[in-house]
């Protein structure tokens, strides 16, 4: 048995256009957009009467992608959560970037919540955590050369 690669990470959102714009602003590229519904999707996700819209956003190098999903039905009764970095469960996505200072400045200008300052981790990375739309936590990491 062997795992070949990480295929995608799925993020459920209410405001699909806003979430899509956030990731496009970080230079991810739309790989695909689609809508799904029907009995087979119901069986795949284990819900009833599922109707979704999805956007697949990839890295320019074609590696794994981020899949943004808007569930029209059924809706989540809990609404948007704003977890902290230490909340149990899957918590953040780390993007390896170039020029973290410029990216953070741009995100601040656009009103993105920056909840840590850029920190140098040993001699390997500059790191910073930000919160995108709908509570999405991103860790930005720049390799130190």
Residues 69 and 15 in one domain: yes
Question: Domain with 31 in it: what CATH number?
Answer: 3.10.180.10
Q: What pLDDT is stored for residue 83 in this prediction?
A: 82
- pLDDT tens, position by position, 20-39: 999 999 999 999 999 999 99
Query: Domain holding 135: CATH number?
Result: 3.30.720.110
Mean pLDDT lowest among 23-27, 58-62, 111-115: 58-62
Domain that holds residue 134: 93-143
Q: What are 90-104's pLDDT values in tens digits?
A: 889 999 999 999 999
97 in the same domain as 66: no
Phi, psi of 67 (to 5 degrees): -110, 115
Give domain status of residue 88, yes or no. Answer: no
What pLDDT was estimated at residue 69?
Answer: 95
* pTM for the structure as a whole: 0.86
Say if 79 falls within a structural domain.
no
* Number of domains observed in the structure of the chain: 2
Instruction: Decide if 132 is inside a domain.
Output: yes
């Amino acid at each position: 048995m062997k795992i070949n690669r990480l295929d995608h990470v799925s993020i459920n959102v209410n405001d699909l256009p806003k979430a899509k714009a956030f990731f496009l602003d970080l230079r991810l590229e739309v790989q695909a957009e689609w809508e799904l519904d029907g009995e087979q999707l119901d069986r795949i996700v284990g819900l009833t009467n599922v109707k979704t819209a999805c956007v697949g956003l990839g890295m320019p190098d074609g590696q794994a992608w981020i899949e943004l999903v808007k569930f029209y039905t059924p809706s989540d009764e809990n609404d948007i959560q704003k977890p902290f970095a230490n909340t149990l469960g899957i918590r953040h996505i780390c993007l390896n970037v170039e020029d973290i200072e410029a990216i953070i400045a741009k995100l601040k200008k656009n009103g993105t919540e920056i909840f840590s300052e850029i920190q140098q981790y040993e001699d390997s990375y500059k790191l910073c955590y930000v919160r995108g739309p709908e509570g999405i936590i991103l860790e930005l990491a720049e390799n130190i050369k």
